[in-house]
Amino acid sequence: MMFTAQPRSTENIQHVLTVGRSLEITTGGGKSRRRKIGQVPSHQRSCCWKVKAVIQSENNNKSTKLVEKSGNGSLVTSDKGIDVKAVITLRKKMKENITDKIEDQWESLMNGIGRGILIQLISQDIDPVTKSGKFAESYVRGWLSKPSDHPYIVEYAANFTVPHDFGRPGAIIISNLLDKEIHLVQIVVHGFNEGPLFFSVNTWIHSQKDNPQSRIIFQNQAYLPSQTPAGIKDLRREDLLSIRGNGKGERKLHERIYDYDVYNDLGNPDKSEDLARPLVGGKERPYPRRCQTGRSPTKTDPLAESRIEKPHPVYVPRDETFEEIKQNTFSAGRLKALLHNLVPLIAATLSSSDIPFTNFSDIDKLYNDGFVLNDDEHSKKNKFLSDTLVKVFSVSKRLLKYEIPAIIKRDRFSWLRDSEFARQTLAGVNPVNIELLREFPIVSKLDPAVYGPPDSAITRDFIEQELNGLSIEEAIEDKRLFILDYHDMLLPFIGKMNSLPGRKAYASRTLFFYTSRGVLKPIIIELSLPPTPSSPRNKRIFSHGHDATNHWMWNLAKAHVCSNDAGVHQLVNHWLRTHACMEPYIIATHRQLSSMHPIYKLLHPHMRYTLEINALARQSLINGGGVIEACFSPGKYSMEISSAAYKSMWRFDMEALPADLIRRGMAVEDPSMPLGLKLVIEDYPYAADGLLIWSAIKEYVESYVEHYYSDPNSVKSDVELQDWWNEIKNKGHADKKNEPWWPKLVTKEDLSGILTTMIWIASGQHAAINFGQYPFGGYVPNRPTLMRKLIPHEEDPSYENFIIHPEKTFLASLATQLQATKVMAVQDTLSTHSADEEYVHQLHEIQRFSINDHEVLKIFERFCAKLEEIEDTINQRNKDIRLKNRSGAGIPPYELLLPTSGPGVTCRGIPNSISI
């Protein structure tokens, strides 16, 4: 065995003796240490003086031999070994400033002379002398010129001569001696009998000036812990320990430390008392944990973490950050959001107030004209501001316009129809809250001493007027009554919400009847306020009616329901159940599963960018004073509502699509049907398409798990896997760690179920409730995110204005122009696919770089082929005229669960991960 290494220490090695199987090292500082030869720390093997050694195995009956120390670092062997070349692929920046270009030239020079990057090959085989993996090392040298379609990719080479009995390299230790970090795409080792050996990582390697610890890279081969080759077993453990952290100190941007923390960084009490927010996560306000950043506490509140405001980045482990293409896409979206927000903000400022929409033409102008500042008494100032925006940001005024949302592109009046209101509960952006009504009367579970009588104001007479001769009992038995119930979730917060300026909301219940024609229609809306001494049953009932007054009242009631639905969708179904709940799974996967663990490799594509997008959300979306608070009804109580929903309703076992559908009564168990269940409403696009995707994920996960866990006890005996699942429960979801519903992890069936749920949440579930945000919410009357006025009573002073100008009353109840355009800009950004998006149908292409197993790659190929079949099936369904929730005059097809998409706002496509 041979070694040399990089100069990482100021200590010069003065003397080296071989003592049995150890090296006794005396340094210039007079210190003497004895180490096993393979365990000599890298910083002692890599001093300014190069030590060279050749250790010949005891198996060939030759004595151990020490070669003199040398200053040139060249390898010396007793006989000719195997010539090996490692080709290192790096990615440069796409956009470089003058400093970057100078650094690139310096990097090329240092690598050219062999002083930039040091790599060590670690064999899978144990050296009989050192009892650790054999190793060889070399600097990368020179420049490999290679014609390429990728101008940002560069390659270097490192040459080795290794003994014939070196064995197969299982790991590489890489040390970056440059002054800046490098982005390592892959290393390919040539020269061994097995053919090229791939180490594909796509990772950032920190500079040793930031951290002297070298990086460990494993070959593209999956191993359970018990199957790890002996030569790299210690490295597997060492690599995991390096990224766990100790929970102390502020994280630095170059680090890759994964640890847990509560949501204590949402408020900014040092800036303003109004921006103080309670800690979320813990006994009082339970919540999933986030990735720890370790910043110091605020001066005002020792429990609150100080904030990092834009444009400064929030820490996430280095490899979790956006790649440059994604950054550019996101920045373009942020620029668009800035322009959308800034112009109406200036207009509002100049007019001294944030104005409401006064007629529907004001809304149409968002798409037809965009925001062009008017030539009025402020014409000169307006023209200067408008011209400055266009000049500074190098965009045309067209960028200030919004695209026409899909919901009104085919039929601008669709939002007015009751059938469309109902259709969106099954095929809209939030199709996961509608439930089967299974009991009557409808009763609240809230404390009646605080929230008044528990019975709903929806009586038998109200319902049976709409049932075409059926009794309630018959309609319930036939599974034809459905409910959208936000009463218990929101009523505890309505009083606080309505105390906020410009916010008025109710807790709502909406009943739907499934007609004999196969169409869902809304029949009754109940809107409730907290009880008062004068009104202990503060509830109002609305039905669609047939006269003009009831028609407009009904439209106002529907708008309030949509506002509640938008808030629950964003705070509970979108943020909590996908983004926030996925974060602990990702942290635990990195902390407990080695990068060579087969389950790590399975999950890795489904973790891409999620921690980064969540950090950005904490910075500007869900934070105190952020977009969600500014533009949605719950305002500053948004995260408290999200926490309350987590406490009362979130269960891991119910996040599986089939279990969720059965829980809501939208499906029943039926052994004769695929997946053992049958939909109560066959024309339920989200569920029908979602079950196709779920089934494909389930089949592929089961095949993958079976490949690696064929032994009946292999799941239970996998120490990394058990630690992973225990950490998810006990640390990632610490506030629910004692719940009895957590799945056990004993059998491969248990493991397959857990993984299928996680991958579904990261891919299909998130796609279904995210990428329709602008197509459905971009038209304010269709899906208002907040309401500013309660519905007038006859005795109210505003009632007369309502009778005279019902349209103005309706529009004045919606968000203001500034609020609406701000949320539209964010929805537009969140609905946009990046140009570098990775979709589920591409998994076989993505995974072939990380797994060197033909049988496993065939599993991915079968999965992707299945997704192609599913896409054809969904396209055929969208053409079926019998399915009225996905086809018909002016009806947009349901494409949110189509696997493929191009970039942009497409209202389709399933990315592998929660990446936006």
SS (H, E, C) 87-127: EEEEECCCCCCHHHHHHHHHHHHHHHCCCCEEEEEEEEEEC
Q: Positive or negative CA dihedral for 259, 261, 265, 269? A: negative
What's the rounded Cα separation, in Å, for the pair 133 and 83?
A: 19
Is 183 in the active site? no
Cα-based distances in Å from 782 to 402, 412, 421, 552, 814: 16, 10, 8, 15, 11
Which ranges of 604-684 would DSSP assign to H, the alpha helix?
610-620, 627-631, 638-649, 657-663
Residue carrying structure tokens 């085919």: 410
Out of 183, 487, 766, 833, which one is annotated catalytic? 766
CB-based contact 752:758 (threshold 8 Å): no
Cα–chain center distance at 271: 29
Give 741: exposed, middle or buried? Use CB within 10 Å, 0-12, 13-18, 19+: exposed
Provide block-wise average pLDDT over 10 residues at a time, the chain (916 residues).
34 38 42 42 34 32 31 41 92 69 62 76 92 90 58 86 93 93 94 92 93 95 96 96 89 96 97 96 98 96 92 92 65 52 46 75 79 42 43 41 88 94 98 97 96 95 93 97 98 97 97 95 97 89 91 97 98 98 98 98 96 94 93 96 98 98 97 92 98 98 97 96 98 98 98 98 98 96 96 94 96 91 87 90 89 94 97 97 94 97 95 94
Out of 487, 560, 574, 597, which one is annotated catalytic? 574
DSSP bridge partners of 542: 525
Contacts of 533 (CB under 8 A, 6+ apart): none
Output the pLDDT for position 60. 33
Structure tokens at 546: 């047939």
Is 916 in the active site? yes
What's the rounded Cα separation, in Å, for the pair 876 and 692?
A: 14
Is 164 in the active site? no
Q: What angle do CA 170, 176, 178 make, to 5 degrees?
A: 160
What's the rounded Cα separation, in Å, for the pair 256 and 252?
A: 9
Pick from 514, 515, 507: which is nearest to 561 by CA? Answer: 507
What's the rounded Cα separation, in Å, for the pair 48 and 45?
A: 10
What's the rounded Cα separation, in Å, for the pair 645 and 838?
A: 31
Output the pLDDT for position 330. 53
pTM > 0.95: no
What's the rounded Cα separation, in Å, for the pair 586 and 609?
A: 10
Contacts of 76 (CB under 8 A, 6+ apart): 2, 52, 54, 67, 70
Output the pLDDT for position 395. 39
User: CB neighbours (10 Å) of residue 289?
Assistant: 22
Out of 43, 206, 579, 597, which one is annotated catalytic? 579
Residue carrying structure tokens 């964003």: 570
Output the pLDDT for position 141. 81
CB-based contact 691:683 (threshold 8 Å): no
Which ranges of 413-547 would DSSP assign to H, the alpha helix?
418-427, 448-451, 460-464, 472-477, 487-498
Pick from 660, 334, 698, 354: which is nearest to 501 by CA? Answer: 354
SS3 63: coil
Output the pLDDT for position 427. 98
CB-based contact 839:912 (threshold 8 Å): yes
Q: H or E stretch including 15?
A: strand 13-19
Phi and psi angles of residue 633, each rounded to the nearest 5 degrees, phi first: -50, -40
Contacts of 222 (CB under 8 A, 6+ apart): 596, 597, 598, 601, 708, 851, 853, 856
SS3 26: strand
Out of 220, 564, 770, 878, which one is annotated catalytic? 770
Output the pLDDT for position 739. 98
What's the rounded Cα separation, in Å, for the pair 731 and 751?
A: 19
What's the rounded Cα separation, in Å, for the pair 244 and 256?
A: 9
Is 766 in the active site? yes
Q: H or E stretch including 592?
A: helix 581-592
User: CB neighbours (10 Å) of residue 688?
Assistant: 22
Is 550 in the active site? no
Out of 363, 442, 769, 916, which one is annotated catalytic? 916
Output the pLDDT for position 47. 32
Q: H or E stretch including 379?
A: helix 379-393
Cα–chain center distance at 603: 13
What's the rounded Cα separation, in Å, for the pair 313 and 5?
A: 35
Structure tokens at 841: 């149908």
Pick from 436, 895, 429: which is nearest to 689 by CA? Answer: 895
SS3 426: helix
Output the pLDDT for position 65. 31
